[in-house]
Amino acid sequence: MPSKKKNLSSTPQPVISAPEESLPHDREKFMTLGEHLEELRSVLIRSILVFTVFFVVALYFGEEEKEEIDPSNLL
């Protein structure tokens, strides 16, 4: 009985491309110290910017608590 083997080389294979953000992980093996520091700097700057934006939005939409101080409770 002849074996029915499928010729895999003739069937088209889907091309799977990696997202842009996953490519630097492979590059980390070959990065120099300076490149690592540049990457750290850019990530820190981005993080600080995002934090600042959220902080400003929270201050804008946050409610201000106005509590009057009772002088008799201070003693």
Token output for 46: 């981005």
| CA angle (32 as vertex; 28, 36 as ends), nearest 5 | 60
pTM of the model: 0.48
How is residue 40 written in tokens? Answer: 């750290």
Cα–Cα distance between 69 and 73 in angstroms, integer?
8
38-75: per-residue pLDDT in tens?
999 999 999 999 999 999 999 999 877 777 777 777 76
Is the distance from CB of 58 to CB of 50 less than 8 angstroms?
no
Q: How far apart are CA 41 and CA 22, in angstroms?
A: 19
